[in-house]
A and B are shown apart, each in its own frame.
Chain A
Amino acid sequence: MLAQLQPYIVTSWHGHRNDADIPAAVKTVWGWKFQPSRGGFQQRQSNVDLALLNSDGIVVHTFDAAHHEQYGRGGIQQFTVRELNRAAPFLGLGKAPAKERPVKLPTLGGQRGIRVLVSLRDDRMIAYRAPVVEVVPMAKADWKPLAWPDKARTVKASALKSWLSQIYPPGVMDRTNPQTKVVYAIKSTTGDLKLTPIAAADGKRQAILRGVVRLTDEGPDDFSFQGIVEAVLTYKKGEATPQSLRGYFDGLYPRNDRQHRDIRWLPLQAAFESIPD
């Protein structure tokens, strides 16, 4: 599917049918999607559609991203490839596979920050295993809690909330506000981390950050989960602000299993890295 999507400029839009400023292309797609069914037979629909537009912005083809017959392992992907191939001739795309682009992760356009790559190891829902990549800007003041430690000291996890709060899995329906349909954000990161200076073998200054962090979301039930955080920070000689940060979060996420009325504890892991490199 990625090969078929290489020639496209890809973008997304989200909203509801009663929104004020629905783009023309979305109106076209929803006009077809929500027209009265013929013969009273309503096809199963998902809440995601793909629209393929030509370079003039005209919708050439559209389809439900999770076609009713295509659920199951690999089914949605095969269906999407088929639909992209169907539309290709109408968009002037050849049959030869386009050259694959290199991986280009989000940046902050040269501004300093921390990139957080989150993975939920869900053995049942493969789609949820797709990594989340967030970038969080870090001003000089944001680095202050991680300033060079002359001796070991405690860093409160709350001081690192701006980036630790990005650690939550994608598409968690049961952690969504039922009224607003907005995902509950992480409201607090708690725990004591120890920042310890070490002398690295190559003479550069390094420190290790280590501790257990609990993340609580803004839902009404005090829902929380926790994990180990460890990171290596480097510092230039004579500078207190970290030069780089590399680390990870390794925890367990309690996911509601409605079918079995149980909780599944899924490994939730994240890698952190300062940007730019």
Chain B
Amino acid sequence: MKRITIFLLSLWLANVASAAASSQRILARYQSLRPAAKDLGMYRLDWADSLDVALKRAAKEKRPVCLIIIHAKYGDIASGHC
């Protein structure tokens, strides 16, 4: 009986260790697929949600505006799904 208990316990521990390893592997894969800071340059820019917001802020902060005009019916350049 004791042997069976030890056997089952070792099986359970192996399962826990393997699950933990699996979790570490998934998190490592997530990290490797997550774009690095060097690839996220778009998000180093000071984005405004709309031209109206940008113009109000520009007047207040005495700063210039870079307006990207897309001749299309759709396009979310801030998210990249354009």
| B30, A248: Cβ atoms closer than 8 Å | yes
| A11, B47: Cβ atoms closer than 8 Å | yes
Cα-based distance from A34 to B58 in the complex (angstroms): 27
Query: Which residues in A have their C-beta under 8 angstroms from that of B23?
Result: 198, 200, 206, 208, 232
- One of A15, A16, A49, A119 near B33 (C-beta < 8 A): A119
Quick one: given A104-B43, A181-B74, are A9 and B64 in contact (CB under 8 Å)? yes
Give the distance to chain B from A61, nearest Cβ to Cβ, in Å: 10
Cα-based distance from A232 to B37 in the complex (angstroms): 23
Q: In the complex, which of the residues A2, A6, A180, A230 has the most CB atoms of chain B within 10 Å of its own CB atom? A: A230
Q: Which of B58-82 contact A (CB under 8 A)?
A: 58-59, 61-75, 77-82
| A51, B67: Cβ atoms closer than 8 Å | yes
> What 9 A-B pairs are tightest by C-beta distance, nearest first?
A132-B80, A198-B19, A271-B34, A14-B70, A47-B71, A8-B66, A12-B68, A131-B35, A11-B54
Specify the chain B residue showing the minimal Cβ separation from A201.
Answer: B20
| A25, B67: Cβ atoms closer than 8 Å | yes
Give the distance to chain B from A160, nearest Cβ to Cβ, in Å: 16
| A12, B79: Cβ atoms closer than 8 Å | no
**Is A257 at the interface (CB under 8 A from chain B)?**
no
Give the total of B residues in contact with A, Cβ under 8 Å.
54
Query: Which residues in A have their C-beta under 8 angstroms from that of B45?
Result: 2, 5-6, 8, 10, 101
**Is A65 at the interface (CB under 8 A from chain B)?**
yes
Give the distance to chain A from B19, nearest Cβ to Cβ, in Å: 4
Cα-based distance from A54 to B66 in the complex (angstroms): 9
| B26, A208: Cβ atoms closer than 8 Å | yes
| A53, B74: Cβ atoms closer than 8 Å | no
Sampled A-B contacts (19; CB under 8 Å): A6-B45, A7-B63, A10-B45, A11-B54, A11-B66, A12-B68, A47-B71, A48-B70, A53-B55, A55-B61, A92-B64, A101-B45, A106-B79, A166-B81, A181-B73, A183-B74, A206-B23, A208-B19, A271-B33
